[in-house]
Structure 1
Amino acid sequence: MEVTLLGTGDTTGTPTVGCDCDTCERARDPDAELRERARERGLDPSGGVERSRFSVYVRNDETGESLLVDASPDFRHQFLRESVPLPDAAVISHVHFDHLDGLGNAYRLFDHLPVHAADETDPVTDESVAETVRRRYDYLDTVSVSAETPFEPFSAAGFEVTLVPVTHPPLLCYGLRIEEPQTGAVLLLSGDTCYDVPERSKAALSDADLALVEGIVHPEACEFHPKGGADHAADGVPRTFGTKHMTLRGARDFAGDIEAAEYRIVHTAHYVPADLAFADDIALDGERFTL
């Protein structure tokens, strides 16, 4: 299994359009330390480093197929930049635009793209993720939507995939367990979530070779959120920013909770101060992992 991080940022990405904060400026023009750190990850930082909107590309070494997790609005840029083939199937974790709206790129690019999404009805939208995807992209004849039941494995691009409910109010959202049956390699994605994930879900997301765990901001940012922070650790540090995203501390603790062999923090915002935003465990676009 080869995992390519197409997009590792939040809704606006890093650098953010029109922003001159220290984090965005450092991403545009990396200093020597950040350039070296990027090179150590196999990246070419000559044009800056990036966290575009979230998306992950997973290649099945045994079948030659590939799976796209979430369809970023930066779809075109990501696929051109990474020079990976178009996917054989896709999974959508939830209906927020930064995870879904790139699906429109299927127009004229695919002969057929199976898209998998959860079948649970969301009380807020009164439809499931699968139904929302089907309704919004009903004009795309190349896209077929398969409704999948959470916790019940299904096959996609030769992988065994399981949608795992997480906590991202007010909408339903899902993490993912992706296993390559022939090798037993396991990739886990927390999905967009707060730290307070149900125990059954946490168990389903445990024991991965690699976990991609959401961590949107540093804990100190909670004082600026209207709802503050939640899920405080024993030392008082909040592990949830507001109600629906993990802090960096939450992401690190969550990775420990699920006992991942290796992890990277994803979906990180440009609000993280520049001296914290490029730590070794916070992902950058283009990183690749072989499991």
Structure 2
Amino acid sequence: MQVTFLGTGTSSGVPMIGCTCEVCRSLDHRDQRLRVSVHVAIEGRSLVIDSGPDFRQQMLRARITHLDALLFTHEHKDHTAGLDDIRAFNFRQQQDMPLFGEPRVLRQLQQEFSYIFAEHKYPGVPRVSLHPIEQDHAPFDVLGLPVQPLRALHHKLPVLGFRIGGFCYLTDANHIGPETMALLHDADVIVLNALRREQHISHFTLAQAIEILEVVKPKRAYLTHISHQLGRHQDVEAELPPWLRLAYDGLKVEVA
């Protein structure tokens, strides 16, 4: 399995509009973060988790020419706003794009992208098929590939992460219950959000993310959904143990 980090930034991206802090002015490409998303290539399948507002740019930059399915963690715009750009894959592949998400999330997509689901569709709109994820902890099938949902909370909003083989991906969370903690054990790679150092109402801090990862003990771990408030990539990473790294846009990771 190969995982590509398409975006590792928070909802405003990094640099943030109008900000002149040292992170937003940094020339290090690792400090330039699009909205959070990841691509998973496994057993001939091409999957993307979350299509935020930078989706088109991410597909072009990563040179992704085929996409089999989109998985959604939750319905916030920084995770869904780029859905319209799946049209290019519809044209190339001549088939509907499967969308996997909780029923609540799929209903939100139907509202925000109502033209996609209209009875009389305008020519050229995206073509999709909806696949509800009905249970918190029961694996579901994505084109013959078993995917394990990982329940978490984003403040009071239930969100999902996903485990695919030895790869676990959890973003936009500030609470993980015991059932999900058990599902994180024995992972090869875990990706977890770490927004900043200061307490936040809906995201793990750097210290909180490290504390969780030290409990579940993956072989390797990466932090994502990073804001400009966390600090420069090179400075933060120098503080971390060897098994834990900051993810950055374009990073590719091989997973057993």
Check whether TM > 0.5: yes
1:262/1:197 CA distance change after superposition, 3 Å: same
Following superposition, the deviation at residue 147 of structure 1 comes to: 0.6
Q: Return the match for 1:147 from 116, 126, 132.
A: 132
Q: Who is 2:162 aligned against?
A: 176
1:57 is the counterpart of 2:39 = yes
Following superposition, the deviation at residue 129 of structure 1 comes to: 1.6
Separation (CA, whole Å) in 2 of partners of 1:92 and 1:250: 24
Separation (CA, whole Å) in 2 of partners of 1:53 and 1:209: 24
1:206/1:134 CA distance change after superposition, 3 Å: farther
**One-letter amino acid of the structure 2 residue matched with residue 188 of structure 1:** C
Q: Which secondary structure state, in structure 2, belongs to the residue aligned with residue 161 of structure 1?
A: strand
Q: Equivalent residues in 2 for 1:16-165 (5 A)?
A: 16-26=16-26, 29-30=27-28, 45=29, 49-60=31-42, 62=43, 64-110=44-90, 111-119=95-103, 128-140=104-116, 142-149=127-134, 150-165=136-151
Runs of 4+ in 1 over 2 A off after TM superposition: 133-141, 273-280
Q: Who is 2:120 aligned against?
A: none
Q: Who is 1:2 aligned against?
A: 2
Q: Who is 2:121 aligned against?
A: none
1:277/1:16 CA distance change after superposition, 3 Å: farther
Separation (CA, whole Å) in 2 of partners of 1:278 and 1:259: 18
1:109/1:205 CA distance change after superposition, 3 Å: same
Q: Who is 2:184 aligned against?
A: 205
Deviates more, 1:205-214 or 1:136-145: 136-145
The question of whether the paired residues in 2 share the 8 Å contact of 1:176 and 1:205 is answered with: no
1:259 is the counterpart of 2:217 = yes
The one-character-per-residue Cα deviations of 1:35-87 (angstroms, maximum 9, x if unpaired) are xxxxxxxxxx5xx7521100000001x2x111110112101111111112232
Q: Who is 1:250 aligned against?
A: 208
Q: Who is 1:15 aligned against?
A: 15
Separation (CA, whole Å) in 1 of partners of 2:192 and 2:102: 20
**One-letter amino acid of the structure 1 residue matched with residue 225 of structure 2:** H
Instruction: Give me the CA root mean square deviation.
Output: 1.9
Q: Which secondary structure state, in structure 2, belongs to the residue aligned with residue 285 of structure 1?
A: coil
1:216 is the counterpart of 2:192 = no
Q: Which secondary structure state, in structure 2, belongs to the residue aligned with residue 24 of structure 1?
A: coil
**One-letter amino acid of the structure 1 residue matched with residue 195 of structure 2:** I
Following superposition, the deviation at residue 158 of structure 1 comes to: 4.2
The question of whether the paired residues in 1 share the 8 Å contact of 2:24 and 2:31 is answered with: no
- What runs of 5+ residues in structure 2 fail to find an aligned partner? 117-125
What's the TM-score once normalised by structure 1's chain length? 0.75
The question of whether the paired residues in 2 share the 8 Å contact of 1:65 and 1:88 is answered with: yes
Separation (CA, whole Å) in 2 of partners of 1:78 and 1:154: 26
Q: Which secondary structure state, in structure 2, belongs to the residue aligned with residue 246 of structure 1?
A: coil
- What runs of 5+ residues in structure 1 fail to find an aligned partner? 31-44, 120-127, 180-185, 222-240
Following superposition, the deviation at residue 277 of structure 1 comes to: 4.4
Q: Which secondary structure state, in structure 1, belongs to the residue aligned with residue 185 of structure 2?
A: coil
Following superposition, the deviation at residue 242 of structure 1 comes to: 2.8
Separation (CA, whole Å) in 2 of partners of 1:193 and 1:155: 24
